[in-house]
Structure formats: structure tokens, C-alpha cells
A and B are shown apart, each in its own frame.
Chain A
Amino acid sequence: MKLDSKTPPGPLAEKWARYRSEIKLVNPANKRKYEIIVVGSGLGGAAAAATLGELGYGVKCFCYQDSPRRAHSIAAQGGINAAKNYQNDGDSVYRLFYDTIKGGDFRAREANVYRLAEVSAEIIDQCTAQGVPFAREYGGHLANRSFGGAQVSRTFYARGQTGQQLLLGAYSALCRQIDAGSVMMFPRTEMLDLVVVDGHAKGIVVRDMVNGKISSYAADAVVLATGGYANVYDLSTNARGCNVTAAYRAYKRGAFFANPCYTQIHPTCIPVSGEYQSKLTLMSESLRNDGRVWVPKRKGDTRPPHKIPEDERDYFLERKYPSYGNLAPRDISSRSAKEVCDDGRGVGPGGLGVYLDFSDAISRLGLETIRERYGNLFEMYERITGEDAYKTPMRIYPALHYTMGGLWVDYNLMSNLPGLHVIGEANFSDHGANRLGASALMQGLADGYFVLPYTIGAYLADLTHKRPSTGHPEFHKVETEVEERTKTLLAINGERSVQSIHKELGKLMWNDAGMARNRKGLKEAIAKIPEIREEFWDNVRVPGDGKEINQELEKAGRLADFLEFGELLCRDALDREESCGGHFREEYQTEEGEALRDDENFSYVSAWEYRGEAQEPVRHKEPLVYEEVKMATRSYK
């Protein structure tokens, strides 16, 4: 099957403007006849639901949280990029576009990324008008900060809570539409399956998480804004509830899943402190500007850090990368930390951590300077670990925090399954193999406010398929399947808790498909995951029944999908015999340990098609054609 990206013709810089002028529109009086389902209420979902409601469509928005304001976009700290050039430092739409394409290691679709850069400035206008309290200069104008992967200062921020403020802005717009009656909100409601009628996505099956009722909703189009899949690794910086179920169910109903192996790891997280650990917390990477990373030279050295003399310490980043030292790029620092820990020289409980030592910086710059620069981070570190990092080195370790892969979409943000639209982290399109800092918020809001509301209109204007009622046999069939699945989960009544099996899957994924991957490990994981899956379906224990609040049942349903999805991720990682962005294959590296991309053979998007339980999925290719940019080696030297 040929994947058509439906990228409009014409020069890159004119594509979006021309597309908007030429697409068919839905007559304002007809808009209210269309029903749209939006699943998820993060930046993408809330922005899309609010905007579509405002346009006059009938919108139903679903989220698993108790309020749409709690979606995980809220946890983003750093900022949001926009090509405003307020700093007069030479920024432009083209430069933001190029930085994003390069940062993504030339594995993103050119036209989508250009459009993202184009609408970025409008996002800042929109959010400011909503009352988002962005940081300002004394003159009253908006302030910017710099972020990795760019030589200009284009990141807008609201203290360390940019995601929260942008989400609350989108939530307030959503609330306004709920009040106006154009959006119906369904909190504590989880999508459990997609309903496809005559080849078009026409509805969803959901579970009311309070009374357990399973029911269906029909629509003319379905929008998934359900986030990423980092929790397939169990421990990540994602919220505990983040899951792949909506996207994975859509995949099983025919939507292609693109580039699942593109996952991003953040090098400076607070390490795991024990088996009970439920979540990893990220700390700003800026810490590496003044901290020195080291581990003991000797394996199993359990002396406290201050008892280890200077010549028995291995400052491994400084040793291996003398020119970059402690500021080596994210992926390289992460992998080096893993190497020394695998070598038995990791520090802290479980040996999965390295020191980030500020003692040199404190004696050089003074305690006050360090406190000014990083006071809030030291405080956060102390809150979680109980340790004072001014006196003893911090312990850090890399953690999963974002997934670039997602459901395949065309230029219209529509999946190969007509009617199914996918936005934000849930789709694959804009970040290629690696996402730059402060670009996730930009993409979520771009898709939700400024792209999808146009493109979905183009789909609806051409729509000949009538919206079915939920009495349609297909709805009945899917609903029955969902009910059966729930009953099965509740009836297993085995010996193991959901969490213990999730942990097992997470460890396997982290070891074999985490920071560094190789053929042998991936093959082993592909063989092992079905065994864990079998153990789950034979031996999981889900107490309670389905007719009430049952958090174990919710977790079990999500884990069941992760247990299948993890295998797909490993297959994709095995299939991509190159290293690019967040995907590092040990077989494909330069002598200096840098990622070795293979443009000749792998310059394409891998889009996986589900072929049923008995068969392996099939990989389709969307070739990446660059009309404007030349592919170059990603070098930050």
C-alpha cells in the first residue's frame, strides 16, 4: 500500500497558505450538523475541542482525569518555541523550521514542520490574549530564554510552569465552550476502542470510570489527542495514567503506527531509589553547566563520595569527550551513564546513578552564585531525596520522557483510516527521530488551535458517509468485545498484581530497547514479551468488579495494550538498522561513538500495519522527500 502524505504542491513557504485558500469549507449553517469526538484534553485536545466548538461543530471531549485541566501537558516546565524574533537575533520561520528538522535528525516530514514553524507565532498571540502570564521584561514586553538545539533565543515561558499555564489557557477556552453548550465534556471517561464503519472512523467505545458503564458515541470524525507511550517502560517522567490504549486500539482497527522506536531520554532525572518507585522526576539540564559528572573508578566502591579521593574518581564525560565534557549532547551523556553503571560503577541504591558534583563550582563561584542559578532545582532535589546537594553530590540518571513516534498521519493530520485524526504527541509527524526542547508545547497547540480546525473541515466538506447511530451493528459488536475483554480481565484471578507485571515489562524494555539497542537484545525482547503477555493473561489478579470505580481494572486494560505495543516498538527498533536521534543502535556508530545515520537506506517513515494476532505486522514506507533542505550530519561540535 502506498502511503500518500497529501502534501500540497508548490514552494515550501507557500504550501500552507495555498492549502487554506483552496480547501473546501463547510458552510457555517451546516457545521452544527456535524459531530466530532475529541479524545484527550491536553494542549492538543483542549485547544482542538475549544476551537471546533467555537466554529459551530458539535463536539464531545473525553478525558480519563477527573478534570480536563489535569492532562499531562501540565507538567512541562521549560517553555514554548515561536519564531517571533523579538530578540532581533535573526530568528525566522525558516530558521525554526530548519532547527526542528535538523534536531529531528532529518526524519520528519518537511512540509508539516514548516507549517508548524509558520503558525508558531500565532500561538503566542492567542495564549497572551487568553491571559496566559508569560514572563515579561521591565518594559512590559514578552521575555525569551534560549534552549538546546538553537542559536537564537525564541523560547517563551511562564516561570518553570509553562505547560501548566498554556494548558490552563486552553482549558479556559474549553470551559467557555462547555458553558456555551458547544462542547460536551466527559471527564473520568476512558476510550477503550475505536469504531470503524465502512472504512471510516465513526465513533468510540468508552468506559465511565465511576460507574463502570460501557457505552458508545458516534460522530462524523474522531480526533485522538491521547499523548505518548513512554509508560511502556513503566518508569518514565509521564504521569502514571498516561497510556497507549486509544492509539493502540486505533492501530488494531487499521490505523498505521509510525516510528514507534523513536523515544527520547532525558539525561538529568532523579534516579530510582527503590523497587517501590512509581515515577521519575526530571530536573533541568542546565545543571550540567556547572556540575561535574563522575563515578568511582573501582567497581562496587561503596564509600561515600567525599571519602573517594580525586584520583580514584572517573570524570567519564570529561575523559571521553574532552572538548564537550559535561555538556556532551543528551543522547551521548545518557548512554555514557548507562555504560559506567552497567560496568558496576554506578552509585546510590541499586547502582543506577552517577554523581553530578557542584563542589568545584561552589569553590570557584561561591555558594551564593550556585544558589541563585539553581536554588529551585536543589530544593526540588532535596524534597525528593532528602539530600542537600550543596554538601553532597547530586545523583542523576537518564529517564524516558517523550515519544516522537505515534499514529501515522498525512498533511491533514488524518490517519490512513479516513475520519481518524491524530494530534499532538499521539501522532508522529513533526519531531522526526528527536524532539527539541520547548517544541512539544508548540506542536500540541499548533495542531489543536491552528491546523486541525482547518484540515478536519476539508474532510467533512467531502464527506458522503452518513453518521451512523450507535445502534449500528458495528457499534454493538465493538461494545460487546470491550465488555468481554473487561470480563476476562476480572475473571483471571491469578497471583500477580498488575504493577508487578508492568514492572517486569518496563525493565525488559529499558534494558533492551532503551538508550542503546542492539540486534541480539531486541530479538530476545521480541521473544520474551509474548511470555510476559501470557503470564499476564494467565496470572494477573484484578480485584473487584467492573461496575464501580476500579483502578486495578483501568491499569490492567492499559497494561494489556502496552504488552502488545512493546513488541511493536522492539520490532521497529530491530527493523531500523541505523542510528538516528533517540534511536541508537550499537551496531551503527562511528568510532567516536556517535550515531551513524543511513540516509541511503533508511530515509523513510516506518508505518506499521496490524494484521491480526496470528500474523506479524507489516511495515510500510513513506519516503522522506526533502525539497528545500539538504540532509546533513547532525553535529553540535
Chain B
Amino acid sequence: MDLTLRVWRQKDRNSPGRLVEYDAKDIDPDMSFLEMLDVVNERLISREEHPIAFDHDCREGICGACSATINGIPHGPERATTVCQLHMRHFKDGDVLTIEPFRARAFPVIRDLMVDRSAFDRIVESGGYVSVRTGSAPEANTLPIPKDVAERAMDAASCIGCGACVAACKNASAMLFVAAKASQLNGLPQGKPEKDRRVLDMVASMDEAGFGNCTNQYECSAVCPKSISEDFIAQLNREYLVASIKQRFARK
């Protein structure tokens, strides 16, 4: 099939960017979206032009590196699918595809489709862990955890940290990302001792990074390649409220 691509090209963080049009002819419907970009890049290289830079690594939907907004939808039109797992058979001959980086103030574009998502790392650094020293863990089965609790933690823990939730949100909020990590740990007995501190610190770090507020539209959950539920946001809100009240009284 033949496609027309309108791709965001930007040299680096400080340069202005713009959409540039490319022909993508003879695209095999069995290609993945990134393989289609590989082919376009090979052609650009043969014409002595700069290939389109994009983040990618595992190409099986788990590392969370790939990130592109296709015709306005982060990771493209297929539900629960990362760009690397999106195949060209979902498009048709003659389609015009606008391909942009994930847009958010906290995710500056560093080249073409690549953005800097280190703000996510800083959020996890602020409290997305259980403080346990290597070697000091008790025997694993001394702490039975109900199956449904473990399953719910696993649902939250499936997050791949790609940032599509932020890109889909009109406020560029990172609430789904933060909620997923906080809910995984707060729901488990291992994570309970640090529960309050965790939500306060992670939310503070999220705000500091420049992410917006959540207004409960749930675009985040709709584009999430792992279908992480918006229910976790409600849980985070409750836990945040409780933790801030406790903090206020503790100070007085």
C-alpha cells in the first residue's frame, strides 16, 4: 500500500520543529508500524537525508520505549497496543498519517519523535519503592497475601512507563502512571508502612515535574497499551487525602 506520512522533525531540544511530508510507497501490510518507519528511514539514508529518530527497543510491547502519536492518538488507533505491535494492515492504501512525538510540558522533545521521559524516573525515585535492604527480607511465605490482592497489585504493576497516558491527557497529567505504581505497593502488606509518605512524595514530585492535574476524563486509560484502569486514580486520590490530613494533624 502507499501512504503519505506527515512526520514531526526537530533537530534537538532547543530547535523549532515542523511537520514534513514523506511518501511511503509499497508498504507491506504485515509490517509493524516501526518496521514501516525503518523502511522509510532506509530510503531517506539512500537519498542522503537524515533518518527519522524514534525511541524503540524490545519491539514486543513490554519495554515501553516506543512512543509516537499517530493521527492524534498515542500509540495509534488499535486499543491496548504499543506502536511497535501495531501493524500496517490496520491502515489502508492512500491513508495520510500524522506522526508526532508524545506532547507534554514535562516530556520535552529531544529529536523528531523522541522525548525525555526522565520525569517518570524522578517520580519513582521519590517513593515508588519498598525500603528493603538486600538480604534482610523474611521468608517469602511467612506473609500470605490473598490472591485477589496480589492480582490487583499485578494489574497495577503491568504499567510499562511509556507515557501514553500523559500524551493523551489534555492536562498532560501523570496521574495514571503515579496511581498505578502507588496502588501496586500500597495495596500489598509489604508497602503499607510507607503508604502515606509514598503518595505525598510521589504526587509532590509529579507536580514539580510540571505534569497537569487530573480532571477525570480517563483518556489515559483509553490509550494505555496495558489497559491500566482509571480506578487506581480514585484510589490514589483517597490515599492522598487521608495522608495529607494525617500529615496536617501530625504537624499540629
A175 and B147: CB pair below 8 A?
no
- Is B138 engaged at the interface, CB distance under 8 Å to the other chain? yes
A274 and B30: CB pair below 8 A?
yes
B30 and A273: CB pair below 8 A?
yes
Give the CA-CA distance A279 to B84 in the complex, in Å: 10
Residues of B within 8 A of A178 (CB): 121, 125
Give the CA-CA distance A381 to B34 in the complex, in Å: 18
- Is B133 engaged at the interface, CB distance under 8 Å to the other chain? yes
Residues of B within 8 A of A91 (CB): none
CB distance from B108 to the nearest CB of A (A): 11
Q: What are 21 sample pairs from A and B whose C-beta atoms fall under 8 A apart?
A: A47-B134, A54-B133, A69-B64, A70-B65, A130-B190, A131-B188, A164-B160, A176-B131, A185-B121, A187-B121, A239-B63, A240-B56, A240-B58, A279-B60, A386-B30, A499-B42, A541-B45, A543-B45, A549-B111, A551-B51, A551-B53
Q: What residue of chain A has the Cβ atom nearest to residue B111's Cβ?
A: A549
A70 and B63: CB pair below 8 A?
yes
- Is B18 engaged at the interface, CB distance under 8 Å to the other chain? no
Q: What residue of chain A has the Cβ atom nearest to residue B121's Cβ?
A: A67
B134 and A450: CB pair below 8 A?
yes
- Is B35 engaged at the interface, CB distance under 8 Å to the other chain? yes
Residues of A within 8 A of B81 (CB): 383
Residues of B within 8 A of A133 (CB): 150-151, 153-154, 157, 184, 188
Residue A241 contacts which of B57, B121, B153 (CB distance < 8 angstroms)? Answer: B57
- Is A277 engaged at the interface, CB distance under 8 Å to the other chain? yes
- Is A528 engaged at the interface, CB distance under 8 Å to the other chain? no
A129 and B138: CB pair below 8 A?
yes
- Is B50 engaged at the interface, CB distance under 8 Å to the other chain? yes
Residue B124 contacts which of A75, A134, A172 (CB distance < 8 angstroms)? Answer: A172
Most A Cβ at <10 Å: residue of B29, B39, B63, B124 = B63
- Is B167 engaged at the interface, CB distance under 8 Å to the other chain? no
Contact with B along A220-241 (1 / 0, CB 8 A): 0000000000000000000111
B62 and A134: CB pair below 8 A?
no
Contact with A along B87-121 (1 / 0, CB 8 A): 10100000000000000000000110010111011
With A276-B39, A278-B34 in contact, is A158–B154 under 8 Å at CB? yes
- Interface size range on B against A: 35 or more
Contact with B along A55-86 (1 / 0, CB 8 A): 00000000001111110101100000000101
B11 and A548: CB pair below 8 A?
yes
Residue A50 contacts which of B34, B134, B191 (CB distance < 8 angstroms)? Answer: B134
Give the CA-CA distance A552 to B112 in the complex, in Å: 14
Give the CA-CA distance A356 to B145 in the complex, in Å: 39
Lowest 7 A-B CB distances belong to which pairs?
A140-B144, A129-B137, A172-B129, A133-B154, A128-B140, A125-B137, A133-B153
- Is A165 engaged at the interface, CB distance under 8 Å to the other chain? yes
Give the CA-CA distance A279 to B31 in the complex, in Å: 11
Give the CA-CA distance A285 to B123 in the complex, in Å: 38
Give the CA-CA distance A69 to B128 in the complex, in Å: 13
B111 and A548: CB pair below 8 A?
yes
CB distance from A503 to the nearest CB of B (A): 11
Q: What residue of chain A has the Cβ atom nearest to residue B67's Cβ?
A: A66
CB distance from A189 to the nearest CB of B (A): 12
B85 and A384: CB pair below 8 A?
yes
Most A Cβ at <10 Å: residue of B39, B131, B154 = B154
Residues of A within 8 A of B72 (CB): none
- Is A281 engaged at the interface, CB distance under 8 Å to the other chain? yes
Contact with B along A275-312 (1 / 0, CB 8 A): 01111010000000000000000000000000000000
Q: What residue of chain A has the Cβ atom nearest to residue B30's Cβ?
A: A273
Give the CA-CA distance A549 to B160 in the complex, in Å: 24
Contact with A along B32-61 (1 / 0, CB 8 A): 101110110010011011110101111110
Chain A residues numbered 519-542 whose CB sits less than 8 Å from any CB in chain B: 541
